[in-house]
Structure 1
Amino acid sequence: MDEFVVQQMELGKTGKALVVIVRKDFLQTIVDEFLNRKLWLVDVYLGPIVLKNLLPLFEENTCLQLQGMELEISQGEFVSYQKKTNKSWDRYRIGDELIDSNHVLPFACGISTLGFGDTTHIPELLMQVRSESISRRIAIGSQVAFLALVFLILLMNFIRFDAVNEEYSRFSAQLQTGKNLLFRMNDLKDEVAQKESFYVKSGLDTQSKLSYYSDRIASCLPSRLSFNLLG
């Protein structure tokens, strides 16, 4: 029996079991074909054995007719198996889904890949491939998580940089306004200094007899005359 891979499924409490046997070299050929096509294998079931993963999801007392076989389900167990030559295209409720009969086996295989706990049914020749596939998934998940973290950090830095850039622009505008006011104040100071210098040099800041007499003469003129020129 070392040349064969054997899987079995108990048929309820009948004391019977469904046994599926395949040669290891034949199974190895299939595995190699998948690997040559760059496809990873994480699990293998022979025949309808994979359907036991769906037992809790089937409705009670379901007669499951698939291509070439008929399985009866009672009290959450397979209780009988028969070969059938007719093709059935029925639909079965599995959980909350309605699945066509020709999709039941692929659906069961898909469900089986969600859990990696039970490995007793897996042949030794697939254990290494399975381990490599799981490691590859973990590595890909780690890379995705790392890239997501880097993206989050870059996004936070961009938001922070944008806020700092806005603050810089605001302070730059305020600084330029202050410089303009300072230049204007210096111009006004120079203008005031020039006028003060002219006022001092012209003697307008001291008492003048000329201005006194001019004022007195103007006060003596008739109101109809105006004194507008000092000769």
Structure 2
Amino acid sequence: MLRHIQHISFIRGNYVIGVQISFRGNNQNCLYHLIGVKKSRGKLSIVKQIIDITSIEELVKHIPKNTPIVISIDGKNIIHKFFQEDVGDKGLDFVLPNARKEDFYVQTSLINDGAYVSVIRREVIDNVIDRLNAFKVIPALINLGPFVTSCTTFLFDDKVKFKSEFWEIEATGQGISYNPFTSSDSNFIFLNGESIRDFCFPSYALSIAYLADLEIPGIEISLQLKEEFLFKRAVWLGGWFFLSLVFLILLVNFFIFSNYNDKYQDINNMIQQNQSLLNRNDELKTKYTLERRFIERSGLLETSRFSFYADRISRNISDSIQFTAIRIAPVNDKIRSDKPIVFDEKTIIINGKCSNSQYFNSWKDDLKEENWVESILINQFGQEEPGKPIIFELQLMIK
């Protein structure tokens, strides 16, 4: 899996810290030079440069968490030897014939028509790694000497000659030559519009190689450290991606919930405002249901003789005639508790008032023409006082 993700630019990062470790004597006597290189939209830029840092404690203060760090090591603890041919994996035998392979790290760097073999004791590198690990810093690359510069010849359009801390380097677009040289004074190199500290140049070239994902020579443990760092960084980025995704989902869910909650509140407020109308509506529904049931049970929704008689009686009535009572099938006698109620289903009694006897007679004559009327009796017809309406009572006998 790491073979696939180690070439992904997002996993590798676009900002790298290059550290030059220069040994001046024993393992503890060394200086650290730091350079920060950033890649943005295909362009490289130097973010910061610091030289002559005297301790790892001070160094790690300038290294952001989970930022790739590449280390170039040089100085008195390293043996560099040039050979006119590629010595393959037998470099240690040529440099230190009687040395044990378990005690040394070996790096072979192909340079023009030959190779530089660099040898360093394992305990020196392991001590550097352990001290960095104590601050939770894992190097992404470790390289010996300045020879990584030969992998970045594309940086040099013109011939450039400069002196670093331990080497005099002459570079062109075709190749690079190295001559041992010791200097304690740092100068600037002007390259591609950037001003670079010469002490930082090997770590700068190593940073460029990392950002460009170049295959470079390295010691045995460098590949292991690279895989360990990239795995750690992938897990870290994956964790942030997962947290960001969860946060985004929760944020979207919050906005959706807020939207529906606002709608719920609006509807609830509307319901509260119209609760009296809703209560009145429920009350009318209940009343309507009860009255409908009563009417349905009473049979008033169906056609009947009584409704027919009432309709025919009032069909041709004049505006001058007003009914005060209509008794269809009146009670035949007084109601007594000891006798059943008897209705006269052949009789209709109409009480009313009229202001014009002519209209009354016309209406009465029309009723006589009805085929269901057998006879009409006038029980009452007269005025109580002059100028007042005529009071009448008709009795219709039904066939």
What range is the shorter-chain TM-score in? 0.5 to 0.7
Task: Work out the number of aligned pairs and report it.
Answer: 192
Counterpart amino acid of 1:61? K
Q: Would the aligned equivalents of 1:5 and 1:21 in 2 still touch at CA under 8 Å? A: yes
Shift of 1:16: 3.9
Whole-angstrom distance in 2 between the partners of 1:64 and 1:136: 37
Structure 1 residues 35-62: Cα deviation after superposition (integer angstroms, max 9, x where no partner):
3343212211001123234321233211
User: Cα offset for 1:146?
Assistant: 0.5
Q: Is the 8 A contact 1:28 1:125 kept in 2?
A: no
Q: Deviations over 1:120-157 (max 9, x none)?
A: x3333344333222211111111111001101100100
> When you count helix as a share of all residues, which structure comes out higher?
1
Counterparts of 1:43-122 in structure 2 under 5 Å? 43-85=141-183, 87-94=185-192, 96-114=193-211, 118=215, 121-122=217-218
Q: What is the CA–CA distance in structure 2 between the aligned matches of 1:75 and 1:54, rounded to whole Å? A: 9
Distance 1:100 1:126 in 2: 25
Q: Quick check: 1:71–1:80 contact (8 Å CA) kept in 2?
A: yes
1:1-54 per-position Cα deviation (integer Å, ceiling 9, x unaligned): 324333343443xx3444322123332333233233432122110011232343
Q: Structure 1 residues 150 and 185, CA, compared in 2 at 3 Å: closer, same or farther?
A: closer
Q: Which sections of structure 2, spanning at least 5 residues, go unmatched?
A: 1-91, 93-100, 283-323, 325-351, 353-386, 388-399
What amino acid sits opposite 1:133 in the alignment? F
Are 2:163 and 2:181, in contact at CA under 8 Å, matched by a contact in 1? no
- Secondary structure of 1:45's counterpart equals strand
Identity of aligned residues (%): 24
Asked whether 1:9 is paired with 2:76, we answer no
Q: Distance in 2 between matches of 1:179 and 1:153?
A: 38
Aligned to 1:174: 270
Q: TM-score, normalised by structure 2?
A: 0.41
Residue pair 1:53, 1:111 contacting (<8 A) in 2 also: no
| 2:167 and 2:178 in contact (8 A); partners too | no
RMSD over equivalenced CA pairs, Å: 3.4
Note the C-alpha offset of 1:86: 6.4
Aligned to 2:131: 33
Is the contact made by 1:18 and 1:81 (CA closer than 8 Å) also made in structure 2? no
Cα–Cα, structure 1 residues 76 and 177, in superposed 2: closer, same or farther, change >3 Å? farther
Q: Which has the higher contact order (CA 8 A, sep 6+)?
A: 1
Q: Could you tell me whether the CA contact under 8 Å between 2:105 and 2:121 is conserved in 1?
A: yes
SS at match of 2:211: coil
Instruction: Tell me the CA shift for residue 176 of structure 1.
Output: 2.1
Question: Displacement of 1:74 after TM fit?
Answer: 1.6
1:176-202 CA distance string (max 9 Å, x none): 23224456889xxxxxxxxxxxxxxxx
Matched-pair contact (CA < 8 Å) for 1:11–1:80: no
- Residues 136 and 115 of structure 1: CA distance in aligned 2, closer, same or farther (over 3 Å): farther
TM-score normalised by length of structure 1 = 0.66
